[in-house]
């Protein structure tokens, strides 16, 4: 390999400092912006090092396909994270090394979340969207919390067949607490990038050992609760034949090995991962949608006109209307494109060295798909920083076939929840548009304020707190009507 490395060049990239590598070149709270600037100088594949860690950044969809999909036997691992076991996050399917255990997790997810199977859960998603409206109707100033509760209750419903309480549900609170502790101990988002970007995750190398140990113990304990309590609830109901259809019941019913201890660990781990991977992503996408609606009132109005024309005002929309609402579809695509919640996806990792277009990519290299650069590619999406759903229509007025699949990553590690997530986000968006108007907040003089939210840092990017004036738009709308309306 060494001989090959000498003969071949790494992909182009900025010259780094010894030891530090390119740390000082990178915007550490939004590294995808720096990587995106590098496209102009270095092209579609960039190499850099950070604290000795070799990193390749893929900047375009064709290269992502060529490497992460066509050569998925090399590019499907995740970077090893030293502290995983210590903090108790070894259950997380999204961080598992490429191998048998990961394969079993994927099979379990697949059973419930592959395209046809995910359709079984459309009624759950519709019901939760109605509850979302109810919540916002009752306390519009807490709309962001209701969006988070929609995202968590829809997952709890399909994974555990567990109905969350409208307020302060003990299992949701336990899960949120566990994630909060994990985030604190691992950094502001997941621990996946810890090895590659310790500085990004604000986990200083001088982090006092004793504090880390204490927090690690706390994290382990709270994660244990998050993993075991809902799992036991669901398993007991399956055993007593009182559970409805859910990921746990399907897996226990359909996997021949379901009695074994190893299977039980995989099942409860993948179930908890669904919460970790599916809640913040879904909620963040919806908050970004709200931001877009505030900033682009003409888009909001056009989508609402479409809904009024097709659905009318006497009922709420449902999945049966989806194909008749192309503009709403374009709004969903544009939301995924305009601000991908995972701007760098999740890091991949090479298990073998490779050569691509004459460039050497070493074994043990972190490979990032820069989804931000892909979605801001001016050649494909002109005026890419603006929110323009019209870009998804062909000249004949039909929707084109670009569904922004890039937002869900590539290859064998592609998001397993993507069909389900797409349905959750769609049903929430169409309900929110039907029932409410989203307007900029007012200042003390009654003038509209430009929203300028603070953004989260880490793997997932979303507005931390987004003030918004949410106003009902259905006349005579009341809680009872929303609860009872059926399609």
By CB under 6 A, which span of 165-173, 322-330, 410-418, 474-482 interacts with ligand HEM? 410-418
Of 130 and 333, which has the nearer Cβ to ligand HEM?
A: 333
| Residue 407 touches ligand HEM, criterion: CB under 6 A | yes
Q: Are 208 and 232 in contact (CB under 8 A)?
A: no
Count of residues binding ligand HEM (CB under 6 A)?
A: 29
Quickly count: other Cβ atoms within 10 Å of residue 255's Cβ. Answer: 17
Report CA 460 to chain centroid distance, whole Å.
Answer: 7
Binding mask 114-133 for ligand HEM (x = CB under 6 A): --------------------
CB of 105 to ligand HEM, least distance (A): 7
**Helix/strand/coil (H, E, C) string of 220-250?**
HHHHHHHHHHHHHHHHHHHHCCCCCCCHHHH
In this chain, which of 60, 126, 282, 375 binds ligand HEM, going by CB under 6 A?
282
With contact defined as beta carbons under 8 Å apart, do 54 and 364 qualify? yes
Q: Closest approach of Cβ 22 to ligand HEM, in Å?
A: 22
Q: Establish if 251 lies at the interface with ligand HEM (CB under 6 A).
A: no
Nearer to ligand HEM, 318 or 345 (CB): 345
The dihedral built from the CA positions of residue 242, 246, 250 and 251, taken in this order, carries a sign that is: negative
How many CB atoms are located within 10 Å of the residue 454 CB? 9
C-beta closer to ligand HEM: residue 174 or 414: 414
**Distance from C-alpha of 230 to C-alpha of 225, rounded to nearest angstrom:** 8
Which region, judged by CB under 6 A, interacts with ligand HEM, from 47-55, 170-178, 341-349, 351-359? 341-349
Residue (of 152, 189, 191, 186) closest to 460 by Cα position: 189
468 assigned ligand-binding residue: no
CB of 128 to ligand HEM, least distance (A): 13
Instruction: Check: CB of residue 381 under 8 Å from CB of residue 337.
Output: yes
Which listed residue (35, 342, 360, 381) binds ligand HEM by CB under 6 A? 342
Stretch that binds ligand HEM, among 16-24, 210-218, 273-281, 393-401 (CB under 6 A): 273-281
Q: Is 79 in the site for ligand HEM (CB under 6 A)?
A: no
DSSP code for 215: H
Q: In the complex with ligand HEM, which residue's Cβ is closer, 155 or 215?
A: 155
Q: Which residues pair with 472 in a beta bridge?
A: 436
Q: How far is CA 414 from the centre of its chain?
A: 11
Give the Cα separation of 58 and 36 in Å (integer): 10
Q: What's the number of CA atoms in the CB half-sphere (13 Å) around residue 400?
A: 13
Within residues 383-402, the interface with ligand HEM by CB under 6 A covers: none
Stretch that binds ligand HEM, among 208-216, 337-345, 381-389, 463-471 (CB under 6 A): 337-345
Binding site for heme, by residue number, is 415
- The contact set with ligand HEM (CB under 6 A) reads 93-94, 106, 113, 273-274, 277-278, 281-282, 285, 341-342, 345-346, 348, 369, 407-410, 413-417, 420-421, 425
């Amino acid at each position: 390999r060494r001989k090959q490395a000498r003969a071949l060049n790494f992909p182009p990239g900025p010259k780094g400092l010894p030891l530090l590598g390119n740390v000082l070149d990178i915007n550490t709270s939004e590294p995808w912006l720096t990587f995106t600037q590098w496209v102009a100088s270095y092209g579609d594949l960039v190499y850099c090092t950070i604290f000795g860690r070799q990193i390749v950044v893929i900047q375009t969809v064709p290269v992502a396909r060529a490497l992460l999909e066509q050569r998925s036997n090399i590019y499907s691992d995740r970077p090893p994270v030293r502290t995983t076991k210590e903090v108790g996050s070894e259950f997380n399917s999204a961080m598992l090394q490429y191998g048998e255990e990961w394969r079993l997790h994927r099979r379990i997810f697949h059973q419930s979340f592959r395209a046809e199977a995910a359709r079984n859960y459309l009624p759950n998603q519709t019901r939760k969207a109605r509850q979302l409206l109810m919540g916002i109707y009752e306390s519009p100033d807490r709309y962001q919390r209701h969006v988070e509760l929609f995202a968590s209750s829809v997952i709890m419903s399909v994974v555990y067949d567990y109905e969350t309480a409208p307020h302060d549900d003990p299992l949701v609170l336990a899960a949120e607490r566990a994630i909060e502790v994990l985030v604190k101990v691992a950094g502001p988002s997941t621990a996946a990038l810890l090895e590659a970007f310790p500085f990004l995750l604000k986990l200083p190398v001088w982090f006092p050992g004793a504090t880390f140990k204490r927090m690690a113990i706390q994290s382990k304990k709270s994660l244990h609760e998050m993993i075991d309590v809902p799992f036991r609830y669901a398993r007991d109901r399956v055993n007593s034949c009182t559970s409805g259809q859910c990921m746990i019941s399907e897996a226990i019913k359909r996997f021949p090995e379901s009695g074994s201890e190893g299977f039980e660990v995989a099942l409860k781990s993948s179930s908890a991962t669904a919460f970790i991977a599916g809640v913040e992503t879904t909620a963040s996408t919806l908050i970004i949608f709200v931001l877009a609606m505030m900033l682009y009132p003409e888009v909001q109005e056009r989508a609402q006109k479409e809904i009024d024309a097709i659905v009318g005002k006497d009922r709420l929309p449902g999945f049966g209307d989806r194909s008749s609402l192309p503009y709403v579809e374009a709004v969903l695509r544009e939301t995924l494109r305009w601000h991908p919640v995972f701007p760098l996806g999740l890091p991949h990792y090479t298990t073998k060295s490779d050569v691509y277009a004459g460039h050497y990519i070493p074994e043990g290299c972190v490979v990032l798909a820069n989804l931000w650069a892909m979605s801001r590619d001016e050649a494909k999406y002109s005026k890419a920083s603006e929110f323009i759903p019209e870009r998804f229509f062909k000249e004949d007025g039909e929707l084109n076939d670009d569904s922004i699949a890039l937002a869900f990553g590539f290859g064998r590690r592609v998001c397993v929840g993507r069909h389900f997530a797409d349905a959750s986000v769609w049903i929430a968006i169409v309900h929110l548009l039907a029932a409410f108007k989203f307007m900029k907040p007012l200042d003390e003089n009654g003038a509209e304020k430009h929203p300028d939210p603070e953004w989260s840092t880490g793997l997932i990017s979303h507005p931390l707190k987004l003030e918004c004036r949410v106003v009902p738009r259905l006349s005579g709308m009341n809680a009872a009507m929303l609860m009872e309306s059926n399609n």
